[in-house]
Structure 1
Amino acid sequence: MAGMAATEARRVLAPLALAQFICSFAGSNMNVMINDISEDLDTTVQGVQVAITIFLLVMAALMIPGGKLTDKWGRKRCLLAGLVVYGVGAVLSAVAPGLGVLILGNSILEGVGTALLIPPVYILTTLLFTDTASRARAFGAIMAMGGVGAAAGPLIGGLITSAISWRAAFVFQALVIVVIVVLSRKIDDPLPADPARPFDTVGAVLSAAGLVLLVMGILAIDNNGWLALGLLLGGALVLAGFFSWVRGRERKGREPLLSTALFRNRTSNLGLVTQNTQWLMLMGVSFTVAAYLQVVRGYDAVETGVIFTAATLGILASSLAAEKLARRHAQRTLIMVGFVVAIAGIAVLLALVAWTPGAWAFAPGLLLIGLGLGAMLTPSVNVVQSCFSEAQQGEISGLSRSISNLGSSLGTAIAGTILVSGLSKGAYAAAMAALAVIGLGGLIAAGLLPRGARPPAIEAGTTAPPGTPQR
């Protein structure tokens, strides 16, 4: 929306950024409630970990279908529907009498709601902010709120849990949802819905089932190696069947859930890898440090949340500087530097915690991790989104958010599996080291991004064509 007035832009951007905040908040705030929830609901730490992971997994599994439904139902309608489903899940979680109801409310309903509302956030941002500068600012604000939501979740959740109870944290989410619904009335969907557009139901089921099996396989590693292997192989086979189904629909001239053309762009593929790795590291570090502080060090929810403030400040500082950094540095450079700083942060965290018993030993490392992750969240999104035309924004937005949320669920699953195998100092260090090694993989992927010229300015109503080199 070239020439959009500053006040109007803020009114449109506020609910979109707040929606990303609350969804990211929901993915991390339960980390500081592990002991409170397990005691209140008479369950185990592993049971709470499963609930957290299922929430992230449901988001990842349904984000692609959610993105596709925006074309059929309309972007604003999907946004509002997702907010309502999410709100119902938050209320149900607040009154949950046991782990099963908590999983239904938090893991299932909030996960489904998120999958419906997040793709419209990114599609509407792309369509409403059409010039390069305003779109960069908008994505920077949304990614900043997402990063801060994930990093500040432990602090906010800890304060609410200690002052009232863990249930009040879900009431807080429901109230925020009400605010977003009210603010969303100012948003106009720039494209009409197409109710006649076909929806690939079989593809949606296959993609979701494959992702579920893969992450459940990771969760099962600690309990049963053979079961884990079977689940992982099953997930791989189902996903192979999904891609075979998609190719078959394309050959018949029918619209699939996800076009295979999305995977033919090397720059986009590498950008998706960096997105997945960033969120895997963020949620993995959040879960690992929160569990260690509470279970091993014996800190309460507020103490744990305060320690995470360093990461929150780091993400906020670097994310809000995204537009300024993008004008001075290539996107490829920002992503690579972000990985280097985040990996260095993990090394500093391990070194200081090993030699210093105090809580402040966590601050320098968490600050570096926050700075590194915040610096590369926005460039990675820009790299991927700018590779495709506006006609493909629904598909790529769903795929992009699915890959990112899959990274979140894998981060919690991988780190949690290592921790649950033996909550000790050794297990904590092993989980953090594993996250650092995975970060090195993300750094390699960032290094493989093209060194081509800086992307041309995106004029109103257009985007960079597929294959445009991104840095």
Structure 2
Amino acid sequence: MAEAPPPAARPAPASRTVLTALALAQFICSFAGSNMNVMITDISEDLDTTVQGVQTAITVFLLVMAALMIPGGKLTDRYGRKRCFMAGLLVYAVGALLSAAAPGLGVLILGNSILEGIGTALLIPPVYILTTLLYPDLTSRARAFGVIMALGGVGAAAGPLIGGLITSAVSWRAAFVFQALVIAVILLLARRIDDPLPPDPTRPFDVRGTVLSAAGLILLVMGILAADDNLWLMLALLVLGALVLLWFFRSVSAKERRGEEPLLSLGLFRNRTSNLGLVTQNAQWLMLMGTSFVVATYLQVVRGYDAIETGVVFTAATVGLLVSSLAAERLAKRWPQRTLILAGFALTIAGIPVLILLARAFTDAWAFAPGLLLVGLGLGAMLTPSVNVVQSSFPEAQQGEISGLSRSVSNLGSSLGTAIAGTILVAGLSGNAYAAAMAALGVIGIAGLAAAAMLPRGRT
């Protein structure tokens, strides 16, 4: 198997172009997951739907990504990382344009939630595989992941601001045209990408495992969304989802015993460091997307803010993410990955009570800035180290699998954040519901902090 060329052998301009394409891809996918948060009122009025309907569209988008990210990672081994990346960009662009022209919620879900979700599942695993292969040492990889995660975090945190500006200046539909235009730029830059490893068309693809894993995850998250409507339906969906996932893992185990290649090797879960890193990734994105949805919805529905006012409030989180994410290389040289993840969780968790207490004490928009700044600083400090911990735990031959699993876990966290915190908020849409939703995110952050504390010490 061909090895990736050392970074020094690559022309600097090409390397910067490739990194720009990869980082922009992460930006636009993260942007798509959060920019609709400030369009809730506009979309619900234009498409004659409800806040819960828009929440469902956002959650399904994140869920489709999570459900298909592992298959997306496996497809890169069979068809090549660049080919999957380009195909994902094209599918995403079609979904964005269809969303821009959507006459109703159903078409919006098809374009944004389904097609953009599928496109993202195809293009995101290659981003992380290519970065891991093209930047083999810890420092250069931290720099590259720092840029990618910075733009990813900014896409999630600044999505409300950018989406708010576009919605106020033109319409919410123009935000989807903006996404298509960014995709066009990425397609032009991506022509410079050279796949470090050749594809292997003979690699098998586990269709049964794909269906079972996707169905199990979808049932679990849809069960959480059903919590405020029907508790019996919620329980039925959660139990059914758990049973389907159990079926999936039994199927994987059976394939491995027969010497066949399953969708996901159970060996990936035997690495304790990687497992803990995956838990931290899930908690990080759950808190990021959960906070984004809860604060944006509360500001619009309860406080009566418009799209641009809501977006401006999130500037504090964007600044925090930028400052800490772009410092990833310097931080990685000075501190172990474990220390950075612990510090990130501590800052993010500290931001939760600040968001609750200041929102209760003051009615001005600035009351949300200190809490969002802490959340942004914390998340930006730990997103890159968590990715590095997981990706660096496996050799080149397993980068397709672990990249898909890593992105699936992260996007599952995003969808759970919107589903769990959003369901608590939408059920009440009051000051108490807002505090309860944020408190739930804080509890999950404490669980992530506990996982980070169990990471091995040293340079890990």
TM bucket (normalised to shorter chain) is over 0.9
- Coordinate RMSD, CA, aligned: 0.7
* Cα deviation, residue 330, structure 1: 1.0
* Cα deviation, residue 130, structure 1: 2.1
CA distance in 1, matches of 2:389, 2:127: 17
Q: Does 1:10 align with 2:45?
A: no
CA distance in 2, matches of 1:414, 1:2: 42
State the SS of the aligned residue for 1:421: helix
| 2:345 paired residue among 335, 339, 347 | 339
| 1:149 paired residue among 155, 164, 169 | 155
State the SS of the aligned residue for 1:298: coil
CA distance in 1, matches of 2:220, 2:266: 21
For the 8 Å contact 2:166–2:174, the answer to whether it is kept is yes
| 2:38 paired residue among 22, 26, 32 | 32
What's the counterpart of residue 459 of structure 1? none
What's the counterpart of residue 79 of structure 1? 85
Which one-letter code corresponds to 2:352 in the other structure? I
For the 8 Å contact 1:294–1:300, the answer to whether it is kept is yes
**1:207-286 to 2 correspondence within 5 Å?**
207-286=213-292
| 1:140 paired residue among 133, 141, 146 | 146
State the SS of the aligned residue for 2:363: coil
* Cα deviation, residue 416, structure 1: 0.9
Which consecutive residues of structure 2, in runs of 5 or more, have no partner in the other structure?
1-5
**1:375-454 to 2 correspondence within 5 Å?**
375-451=381-457, 453-454=458-459
What's the counterpart of residue 3 of structure 2? none
CA distance in 1, matches of 2:78, 2:352: 44
Which consecutive residues of structure 1, in runs of 5 or more, have no partner in the other structure?
455-469
Q: Does 1:124 align with 2:130?
A: yes
For the 8 Å contact 1:70–1:394, the answer to whether it is kept is yes
For the 8 Å contact 2:78–2:202, the answer to whether it is kept is yes
- TM-score by length of structure 1 reads 0.96
CA distance in 2, matches of 1:355, 1:424: 15
Which one-letter code corresponds to 2:264 in the other structure? L
* Cα deviation, residue 5, structure 1: 4.1
Which one-letter code corresponds to 1:327 in the other structure? K
Q: How many residues align?
A: 454
What's the counterpart of residue 167 of structure 2? 161
| 1:297 paired residue among 279, 288, 303 | 303
Show CA shifts across 1:305-347 (max 9, x none): 0000000000010000011111111111111111110011111
| 1:107 paired residue among 87, 92, 113 | 113
CA distance in 2, matches of 1:213, 1:132: 38
What's the counterpart of residue 467 of structure 1? none
**1:174-185 to 2 correspondence within 5 Å?**
174-185=180-191
* Cα deviation, residue 133, structure 1: 2.4
Show CA shifts across 1:172-198 (max 9, x none): 000000000010000011111111111
For the 8 Å contact 2:28–2:182, the answer to whether it is kept is yes
**1:285-364 to 2 correspondence within 5 Å?**
285-364=291-370
Which one-letter code corresponds to 1:122 in the other structure? Y
CA distance in 1, matches of 2:423, 2:315: 25
Q: Does 1:65 align with 2:71?
A: yes
For the 8 Å contact 2:139–2:333, the answer to whether it is kept is no
For the 8 Å contact 1:2–1:131, the answer to whether it is kept is no
- TM-score by length of structure 2 reads 0.98
For the 8 Å contact 1:335–1:379, the answer to whether it is kept is yes
CA distance in 2, matches of 1:189, 1:8: 13
CA distance in 1, matches of 2:319, 2:238: 37
* Cα deviation, residue 68, structure 1: 0.2
For the 8 Å contact 2:142–2:385, the answer to whether it is kept is no
State the SS of the aligned residue for 2:229: coil
What's the counterpart of residue 457 of structure 1? none
For the 8 Å contact 1:155–1:306, the answer to whether it is kept is yes
For the 8 Å contact 2:153–2:380, the answer to whether it is kept is yes
* Cα deviation, residue 132, structure 1: 2.8
State the SS of the aligned residue for 2:202: coil
